[in-house]
């Protein structure tokens, strides 16, 4: 599974933010053990940010338990075939109205946008577009400003069917927030270090705090943990 949007832009990282879905119950001893386990992880050079508004929306719905190559090919198909047509939320909404909001309609929509049959992801794209329109988040700058001030529980939880804490955190990271995505590899790493299962909130806050203690950006440490778990070491994604 890919972690972040392809061909990310480069902006200075902002202050670390533990923007997870709820309070953390990890003890100081557990966080200390996590910090020590992270100390030897090589620094990752992965840049998380994605400067394009529509690409951010598409990655948000595609980058959930999907093979990295499939996600990247879907995004490349959009760039090769639909980039000139779909550049704004208005244009995306116009396209969505051309297809019925049912399985067959979303199947045709997915094929048109991505060259794949990911009809459930097309349905999530509809829901995400509706959410953003309702929040008046129609541009990259507006979405970036929202990412800096938003809170998962108050501003996103339950608003877009199929998109939970991991999708929210990943979107924030692509929009420049220095935080952590609680995906399976980061969950596994933290859980193995502390010796128990951990919640999404615990993962976000613990890795953010470990990064602070190590003097590393939270999203860089997140990438280093992901590379350790998914790839067995640092590598391009």
Task: Please determine, for residue 127, whether its predicted confidence score (pLDDT) is greater than 50.
Answer: yes
pTM: 0.85
Cβ atoms of 20 and 204 within 8 Å: the answer is yes
Alpha carbon distance 117, 101 (integer Å) = 15
Write down the pLDDT at residue 46. 76
For 15, 34, 147, 196, the CA distances from 25, given in Å and listed in that order, are: 22, 14, 25, 12
Cβ atoms of 170 and 50 within 8 Å: the answer is no
Residue predicted with more confidence, 233 or 126: 126
Write down the pLDDT at residue 229. 85
Q: 45-54, 103-112, 194-203, 205-214: which range is least confident on average?
A: 45-54
CA R_g for the chain: 18
Alpha carbon distance 130, 127 (integer Å) = 5
Alpha carbon distance 174, 140 (integer Å) = 11
The token pair that represents 229 in the structure block: 């778990």
Task: Please determine, for residue 237, whether its predicted confidence score (pLDDT) is greater than 50.
Answer: no
What pLDDT band is residue 18 in, cutting at 50, 70 and 90? low
Closest by alpha carbon to 5, among 44, 80, 63, 45?
A: 63
Alpha carbon distance 67, 71 (integer Å) = 6
Task: Please determine, for residue 20, whether its predicted confidence score (pLDDT) is greater than 70.
Answer: no
């Amino acid at each position: 599974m890919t972690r972040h949007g392809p061909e990310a832009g480069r902006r200075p990282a902002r202050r670390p933010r533990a923007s997870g879905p709820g309070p953390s119950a990890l003890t100081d001893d557990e966080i200390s053990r996590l910090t020590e386990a992270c100390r030897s992880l090589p620094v990752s050079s992965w840049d998380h940010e994605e400067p394009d508004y529509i690409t951010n929306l598409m990655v948000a719905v595609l980058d959930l338990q999907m093979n990295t190559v499939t996600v990247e090919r879907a995004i490349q198909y959009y760039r090769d075939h639909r980039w000139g047509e779909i550049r704004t939320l208005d244009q995306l909404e116009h396209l969505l109205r051309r297809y019925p909001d049912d399985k067959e309609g979303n199947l045709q929509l997915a094929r048109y946008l991505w060259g794949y049959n990911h009809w459930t992801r097309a349905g999530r794209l509809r829901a995400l577009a509706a959410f953003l329109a309702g929040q008046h988040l129609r541009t990259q700058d507006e979405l970036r400003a929202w990412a800096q001030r938003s809170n998962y529980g108050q501003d996103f939880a339950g608003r877009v069917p199929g998109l939970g804490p991991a999708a929210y955190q990943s979107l924030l990271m692509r929009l420049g927030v220095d935080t952590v995505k609680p995906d399976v590899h980061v969950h596994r790493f933290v859980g193995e270090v502390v010796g128990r299962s951990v919640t999404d909130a615990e993962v976000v806050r613990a890795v953010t705090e470990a990064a602070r203690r190590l003097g590393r950006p939270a999203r860089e440490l997140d990438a280093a943990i992901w590379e350790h778990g998914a790839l067995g070491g640092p590598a391009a994604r």
